[in-house]
Protein backbone atom coordinates (compact mmCIF):
# COMPACT_ATOMS: atom_id res chain seq x y z
CA UNK A 1 0.00 0.00 0.00
CA UNK A 2 1.28 3.47 -0.95
CA UNK A 3 0.93 4.83 2.59
CA UNK A 4 3.19 2.07 3.91
CA UNK A 5 5.82 3.08 1.34
CA UNK A 6 5.59 6.67 2.56
CA UNK A 7 5.74 5.59 6.19
CA UNK A 8 8.89 3.55 5.51
CA UNK A 9 10.49 6.42 3.59
CA UNK A 10 9.84 8.76 6.52
CA UNK A 11 11.36 6.22 8.92
CA UNK A 12 14.54 6.14 6.82
CA UNK A 13 14.82 9.73 5.63
CA UNK A 14 12.90 11.99 8.00
CA UNK A 15 9.82 14.18 7.65
CA UNK A 16 10.89 16.87 5.17
CA UNK A 17 8.75 17.22 2.04
CA UNK A 18 10.35 19.49 -0.56
CA UNK A 19 7.79 21.69 -2.27
CA UNK A 20 8.78 22.12 -5.91
CA UNK A 21 6.64 25.23 -6.31
CA UNK A 22 8.73 26.84 -9.02
CA UNK A 23 8.44 30.44 -10.13
CA UNK A 24 10.78 31.41 -12.96
CA UNK A 25 12.36 34.13 -10.84
CA UNK A 26 13.42 31.46 -8.31
CA UNK A 27 15.72 29.90 -10.90
CA UNK A 28 19.32 31.18 -11.10
CA UNK A 29 20.13 33.23 -14.20
CA UNK A 30 22.79 30.79 -15.35
CA UNK A 31 20.21 28.00 -15.57
CA UNK A 32 17.73 30.19 -17.43
CA UNK A 33 20.43 31.21 -19.95
CA UNK A 34 21.69 27.66 -20.43
CA UNK A 35 18.35 26.02 -21.21
CA UNK A 36 16.17 28.95 -22.35
CA UNK A 37 13.04 26.82 -23.04
CA UNK A 38 10.67 27.18 -20.08
CA UNK A 39 9.94 23.48 -19.72
CA UNK A 40 13.58 22.39 -19.79
CA UNK A 41 14.68 25.26 -17.53
CA UNK A 42 12.17 24.33 -14.83
CA UNK A 43 12.81 20.60 -15.18
CA UNK A 44 16.59 20.92 -14.95
CA UNK A 45 16.29 23.13 -11.86
CA UNK A 46 13.91 20.58 -10.29
CA UNK A 47 16.15 17.69 -11.25
CA UNK A 48 19.18 19.16 -9.51
CA UNK A 49 17.14 19.85 -6.36
CA UNK A 50 15.80 16.28 -6.41
CA UNK A 51 19.17 14.67 -7.12
CA UNK A 52 20.80 16.55 -4.26
CA UNK A 53 18.13 15.62 -1.68
CA UNK A 54 16.55 12.29 -2.63
CA UNK A 55 18.52 10.37 0.00
CA UNK A 56 17.15 12.61 2.78
CA UNK A 57 13.66 13.46 1.44
CA UNK A 58 10.79 10.93 1.48
CA UNK A 59 8.45 12.76 -0.91
CA UNK A 60 8.21 15.81 -3.20
CA UNK A 61 5.18 18.09 -3.62
CA UNK A 62 4.43 19.98 -6.83
CA UNK A 63 1.92 22.84 -6.58
CA UNK A 64 0.38 22.75 -10.04
CA UNK A 65 -0.55 26.45 -10.16
CA UNK A 66 3.10 27.43 -10.51
CA UNK A 67 3.33 25.25 -13.60
CA UNK A 68 -0.03 26.26 -15.05
CA UNK A 69 1.09 29.89 -14.82
CA UNK A 70 3.78 29.09 -17.41
CA UNK A 71 1.27 27.69 -19.89
CA UNK A 72 1.70 24.48 -21.87
CA UNK A 73 5.47 24.39 -21.36
CA UNK A 74 4.99 24.75 -17.63
CA UNK A 75 2.71 21.72 -17.63
CA UNK A 76 5.27 19.81 -19.67
CA UNK A 77 7.80 20.59 -16.90
CA UNK A 78 5.25 19.37 -14.33
CA UNK A 79 4.84 16.12 -16.26
CA UNK A 80 8.58 15.60 -16.74
CA UNK A 81 9.28 16.24 -13.06
CA UNK A 82 6.65 13.75 -11.90
CA UNK A 83 8.02 11.16 -14.33
CA UNK A 84 11.56 11.71 -13.08
CA UNK A 85 10.52 11.33 -9.43
CA UNK A 86 8.85 8.05 -10.32
CA UNK A 87 11.84 6.93 -12.40
CA UNK A 88 14.26 7.28 -9.49
CA UNK A 89 11.92 5.43 -7.12
CA UNK A 90 10.77 8.36 -5.01
CA UNK A 91 7.23 9.56 -4.19
CA UNK A 92 5.23 12.59 -5.31
CA UNK A 93 2.27 14.72 -4.27
CA UNK A 94 0.32 16.56 -6.95
CA UNK A 95 -0.86 19.60 -5.01
CA UNK A 96 -3.96 20.28 -7.10
CA UNK A 97 -6.58 20.98 -4.36
CA UNK A 98 -9.46 19.87 -6.56
CA UNK A 99 -13.04 19.85 -5.27
CA UNK A 100 -15.97 19.48 -7.66
CA UNK A 101 -19.08 17.44 -8.39
CA UNK A 102 -18.76 13.69 -8.75
CA UNK A 103 -18.68 13.50 -12.55
CA UNK A 104 -15.99 16.18 -12.75
CA UNK A 105 -14.03 14.59 -9.90
CA UNK A 106 -13.86 11.36 -11.92
CA UNK A 107 -12.10 13.27 -14.68
CA UNK A 108 -9.68 14.85 -12.22
CA UNK A 109 -8.93 11.38 -10.92
CA UNK A 110 -8.19 10.17 -14.42
CA UNK A 111 -5.98 13.21 -15.08
CA UNK A 112 -3.90 13.04 -11.90
CA UNK A 113 -3.84 9.36 -10.96
CA UNK A 114 -3.27 8.16 -14.54
CA UNK A 115 -1.60 9.46 -17.67
CA UNK A 116 0.56 12.55 -18.13
CA UNK A 117 0.04 14.10 -14.69
CA UNK A 118 0.15 10.93 -12.60
CA UNK A 119 1.24 11.40 -8.98
CA UNK A 120 1.28 9.06 -5.99
CA UNK A 121 -0.84 11.39 -3.83
CA UNK A 122 -3.02 14.39 -4.62
CA UNK A 123 -4.56 17.11 -2.47
CA UNK A 124 -8.34 17.60 -2.42
CA UNK A 125 -10.76 20.23 -1.12
CA UNK A 126 -13.79 18.68 0.65
CA UNK A 127 -15.78 21.85 1.23
CA UNK A 128 -18.10 21.22 -1.74
CA UNK A 129 -19.24 17.99 -0.07
CA UNK A 130 -18.09 14.41 0.28
CA UNK A 131 -19.44 13.38 -3.11
CA UNK A 132 -16.47 15.36 -4.40
CA UNK A 133 -14.15 12.92 -2.56
CA UNK A 134 -15.73 9.52 -3.21
CA UNK A 135 -14.77 9.25 -6.93
CA UNK A 136 -11.11 8.97 -5.90
CA UNK A 137 -11.72 6.01 -3.58
CA UNK A 138 -11.55 3.45 -6.39
CA UNK A 139 -7.88 4.35 -6.85
CA UNK A 140 -7.25 4.11 -3.11
CA UNK A 141 -8.87 0.68 -2.96
CA UNK A 142 -6.25 -0.60 -5.41
CA UNK A 143 -3.59 0.35 -2.85
CA UNK A 144 -1.27 2.41 -5.02
CA UNK A 145 -2.67 5.94 -4.60
CA UNK A 146 -3.46 8.27 -1.73
CA UNK A 147 -5.10 11.62 -0.98
CA UNK A 148 -4.49 14.47 1.42
CA UNK A 149 -7.76 16.28 2.13
CA UNK A 150 -7.80 19.87 3.38
CA UNK A 151 -8.71 19.79 7.06
CA UNK A 152 -7.33 22.80 8.93
CA UNK A 153 -5.00 24.82 6.71
CA UNK A 154 -2.12 27.17 7.51
CA UNK A 155 -3.40 30.39 5.91
CA UNK A 156 -4.93 33.17 8.08
CA UNK A 157 -8.24 32.88 6.21
CA UNK A 158 -8.71 29.34 7.51
CA UNK A 159 -10.76 30.84 10.34
CA UNK A 160 -13.30 32.29 7.88
CA UNK A 161 -14.86 28.87 7.19
CA UNK A 162 -12.95 26.00 8.79
CA UNK A 163 -13.55 27.25 12.34
CA UNK A 164 -17.31 27.80 12.00
CA UNK A 165 -19.26 26.10 14.76
CA UNK A 166 -21.11 22.96 13.68
CA UNK A 167 -22.96 21.52 16.63
CA UNK A 168 -20.50 21.38 19.51
CA UNK A 169 -17.30 21.59 17.46
CA UNK A 170 -15.62 23.43 14.60
CA UNK A 171 -16.37 22.54 10.99
CA UNK A 172 -12.90 21.13 10.44
CA UNK A 173 -13.55 18.50 13.13
CA UNK A 174 -16.74 17.55 11.32
CA UNK A 175 -14.70 17.12 8.12
CA UNK A 176 -12.04 15.17 10.00
CA UNK A 177 -14.54 12.81 11.60
CA UNK A 178 -16.05 12.00 8.20
CA UNK A 179 -12.58 11.42 6.74
CA UNK A 180 -11.69 9.23 9.68
CA UNK A 181 -14.72 7.03 8.99
CA UNK A 182 -13.50 6.58 5.41
CA UNK A 183 -9.89 6.06 6.41
CA UNK A 184 -10.58 3.14 8.77
CA UNK A 185 -11.57 1.02 5.76
CA UNK A 186 -8.07 1.37 4.30
CA UNK A 187 -5.51 0.94 7.08
CA UNK A 188 -2.07 -0.27 6.02
CA UNK A 189 0.44 -2.32 7.96
CA UNK A 190 1.95 0.96 9.17
CA UNK A 191 -1.27 1.74 11.05
CA UNK A 192 -2.06 4.66 8.75
CA UNK A 193 -4.53 5.15 5.93
CA UNK A 194 -3.84 6.54 2.45
CA UNK A 195 -6.72 8.93 3.17
CA UNK A 196 -4.76 11.64 4.93
CA UNK A 197 -5.29 15.27 5.84
CA UNK A 198 -3.66 18.66 5.35
CA UNK A 199 -3.12 20.34 8.73
CA UNK A 200 -1.34 23.66 8.90
CA UNK A 201 1.71 23.80 11.10
CA UNK A 202 1.14 27.47 11.94
CA UNK A 203 -1.92 26.73 14.12
CA UNK A 204 -0.66 24.86 17.17
CA UNK A 205 -3.40 25.44 19.74
CA UNK A 206 -5.41 22.42 18.54
CA UNK A 207 -2.43 20.31 17.41
CA UNK A 208 -2.51 17.73 20.20
CA UNK A 209 -6.28 17.37 19.92
CA UNK A 210 -6.09 16.82 16.15
CA UNK A 211 -3.28 14.28 16.45
CA UNK A 212 -5.02 12.34 19.24
CA UNK A 213 -8.40 12.42 17.52
CA UNK A 214 -7.11 11.12 14.17
CA UNK A 215 -4.54 8.52 15.12
CA UNK A 216 -4.73 6.63 11.82
CA UNK A 217 -4.53 9.66 9.54
CA UNK A 218 -1.24 10.63 7.94
CA UNK A 219 -0.74 14.40 7.77
CA UNK A 220 0.67 16.72 5.15
CA UNK A 221 1.85 19.68 7.21
CA UNK A 222 2.46 22.99 5.42
CA UNK A 223 3.52 26.26 7.00
CA UNK A 224 7.12 25.55 8.04
CA UNK A 225 9.67 28.30 7.54
CA UNK A 226 8.38 31.18 5.40
CA UNK A 227 4.88 30.97 6.90
CA UNK A 228 6.24 30.93 10.44
CA UNK A 229 6.00 27.39 11.79
CA UNK A 230 9.05 25.91 13.56
CA UNK A 231 10.18 22.40 14.37
CA UNK A 232 8.58 22.55 17.81
CA UNK A 233 5.23 23.44 16.18
CA UNK A 234 5.07 20.80 13.46
CA UNK A 235 6.43 18.08 15.78
CA UNK A 236 3.13 18.25 17.67
CA UNK A 237 1.44 16.56 14.70
CA UNK A 238 3.80 13.56 14.63
CA UNK A 239 3.59 10.23 16.46
CA UNK A 240 6.90 8.61 17.37
CA UNK A 241 8.52 10.70 14.67
CA UNK A 242 6.20 9.54 11.92
CA UNK A 243 2.61 10.04 10.77
CA UNK A 244 3.33 13.18 8.79
CA UNK A 245 5.51 15.03 6.31
CA UNK A 246 6.37 18.70 6.69
CA UNK A 247 6.44 20.78 3.54
CA UNK A 248 8.80 23.64 2.79
CA UNK A 249 9.13 25.29 -0.59
CA UNK A 250 10.73 28.75 -0.76
CA UNK A 251 12.87 28.15 2.30
CA UNK A 252 14.61 25.29 0.49
CA UNK A 253 14.47 26.47 -3.13
CA UNK A 254 15.79 29.95 -2.36
CA UNK A 255 18.35 29.04 0.31
CA UNK A 256 21.12 29.71 -2.21
CA UNK A 257 20.38 33.45 -2.22
CA UNK A 258 22.08 33.84 1.14
CA UNK A 259 25.49 33.01 -0.35
CA UNK A 260 27.85 34.67 -2.83
CA UNK A 261 28.33 31.45 -4.81
CA UNK A 262 24.68 30.50 -4.44
CA UNK A 263 23.67 30.48 -8.09
CA UNK A 264 26.33 27.95 -9.05
CA UNK A 265 25.62 25.74 -6.01
CA UNK A 266 21.88 26.20 -5.46
CA UNK A 267 21.35 22.45 -5.15
CA UNK A 268 24.02 22.13 -2.45
CA UNK A 269 22.42 24.90 -0.40
CA UNK A 270 18.99 23.32 -0.86
CA UNK A 271 20.39 20.11 0.61
CA UNK A 272 21.92 22.00 3.54
CA UNK A 273 18.54 23.62 4.25
CA UNK A 274 16.78 20.24 4.17
CA UNK A 275 19.31 18.87 6.66
CA UNK A 276 18.86 21.87 8.95
CA UNK A 277 15.07 21.53 8.78
CA UNK A 278 15.31 17.79 9.41
CA UNK A 279 17.45 18.37 12.50
CA UNK A 280 15.06 21.07 13.76
CA UNK A 281 12.06 18.73 13.51
CA UNK A 282 13.83 15.68 14.94
CA UNK A 283 15.12 17.64 17.93
CA UNK A 284 11.52 18.44 18.87
CA UNK A 285 9.76 15.18 18.10
CA UNK A 286 7.51 13.80 20.82
CA UNK A 287 6.77 10.16 21.58
Instruction: Return the active site residues.
Output: 97
Cα–Cα distances in Å, from 176 out to 16, 151, 169, 172, 173? 23, 6, 11, 6, 5
Alpha-helix residue ranges (DSSP H) falling in 14-60: 29-35, 38-53
Q: Where are the beta strands (DSSP E) in 125-243?
A: 146-152, 165-166, 169-170, 193-199, 217-221
Which residues on adjacent β-strands are paired with residue 121?
A: 93, 146
Which residues on adjacent β-strands are paired with residue 239?
A: 242
51 vs 60: CA distance, rounded Å: 12
Smallest CA-to-CA distance from 215 within 177, 245, 246 is with 177
Amino acid sequence: MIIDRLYDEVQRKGNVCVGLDISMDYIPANIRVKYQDVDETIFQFNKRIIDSTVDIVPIYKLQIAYYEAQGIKGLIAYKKTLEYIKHIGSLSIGDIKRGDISSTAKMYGKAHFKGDFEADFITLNPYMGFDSITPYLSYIEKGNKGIFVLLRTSNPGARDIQYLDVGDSSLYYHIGDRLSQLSYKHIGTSGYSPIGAVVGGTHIDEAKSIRDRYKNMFFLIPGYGHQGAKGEDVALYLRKGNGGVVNSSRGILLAYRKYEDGEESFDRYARAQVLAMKEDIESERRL
